[in-house]
Homo-oligomer: A and B are copies of this chain.
């Protein structure tokens, strides 16, 4: 029996549960709290920032992996020193936890990115803004996600609060070129400790207010050149950062044709939820296989198109299940995923995927089902 331990009880751990069950592998979750999204597989509740908590959990499984990227590196390094298998390993996760470290490493690998600079004072920030058309994207290197820790700045004064509290963000901020992009793309892939690598079709992601809203698989009208570039980038990142498990590389397709790396995630990712129904092997099954160092599965699409629409909470009373009679009757091809989280405005509470050989049908059905569910 192979036993996989997942730190974090969110929807990603929840969605790793079915493929582990199908494969007959054991899955155990260390959740932050009782009643988490990954409740069914939760075997321990505790604080993942405490070494003794994580160590006790690690003793019950064969390999540790993650629902999120927030476990402190010293905790993971201590476990690794004790012989615990951690996938992705701390040396890879270091780049996912710190955007500045990530930019430096991608730069050393010669990979294409927006212009960027490490910022430690107002003068440096102003200089970056001035030399990049009067605007910059400013990010806190650690702790940001889903649009949090990101700000558009047009003068150093726009960041005076962050600049006054630099130690809280690791001592520096990250300034990036505001890319004039025509769309955002994501390349999902997976890599085993042994090096085996497989990538899914390139997808287009559509964001609203900094949060992923819709994913189109495959990315419509991607040129051969784009497909070649994005596949090569994913492979270079996976190998260069020694990622194990699923890797999501979010990219901009700039108006001038450049493909530029935006963000990385070293775990199953929102841009890959389509793969549950849309691929022979889902990102959740692949992650379980990769972190267990089992051979990877085919990432071929099942149908020509898959469309995923996120269900972001509208208010504190959202109840998708209440809307099932109407939503499921009107949209029999919609695959509805509800994460079992309490409702809250803006919260990722579920998603809908529709697979079809007809792209327009898939988009209309997924959006239609989501609209009904969100009224629930």
Contacts and interface: CB of A to CB of B under 8 A. Distances in A.
B333 A280 contact: yes
B298 A333 contact: yes
A332 B21 contact: no
A164 interface: no
B280 A335 contact: yes
A46 B9 CA distance: 30
A17 B21 contact: yes
Interface in A314-330: 320-321, 324-325, 328-329
Given A328-B289, A333-B280, A302 B300 contact: no
Interface string A328-351: 110011011111100000000010
A227 interface: no
Nearest to A41: B40
A66 B62 CA distance: 34
A14 B21 contact: yes
A22 B335 contact: yes
Closest 8 CB pairs of A and B: A24-B338, A18-B18, A295-B329, A295-B328, A298-B332, A298-B333, A302-B302, A22-B337
A356 to B, nearest CB: 9
A296 interface: yes
Nearest to A289: B328
Given A40-B40, A280-B333, A321-B1, A294 B328 contact: yes
A303 interface: yes
A297 interface: yes
Interface of A is mostly: mixed
Given A1-B321, A23-B321, 6 more contacts: A2-B321, A17-B18, A18-B21, A295-B332, A297-B333, A298-B333
Given A280-B355, A294-B324, A22 B336 contact: yes
Given A41-B40, A297-B328, A24 B333 contact: no
A295 B324 contact: yes
Contacts of A302: 277, 302-303, 355
A358 to B, nearest CB: 12
Report how many copies the assembly holds. 2
Contacts of A276: 22
Interface string A170-214: 000000000000000000000000000000000000000000000
A193 B340 CA distance: 26
A84 interface: no
20 contacts: A1-B321, A14-B21, A17-B21, A22-B276, A23-B337, A24-B320, A24-B337, A24-B340, A24-B350, A40-B40, A277-B280, A280-B335, A280-B355, A289-B328, A294-B324, A295-B328, A295-B332, A296-B332, A298-B332, A300-B333
A111 interface: no
Contacts of A321: 1-2, 23-25
Contacts of A295: 324-325, 328-329, 332
Pick the most buried of A21, A321, A332, A338: most chain B CB atoms within 10 A of its CB. A21
Nearest to A2: B321
Contacts of A21: 14, 17-18, 40
Nearest to A337: B22
Nearest to A330: B295
A336 B294 contact: no
Given A302-B302, A302-B303, A339-B24, A325 B41 contact: no
Interface string A262-306: 000000000000001100110000000100001111101011000
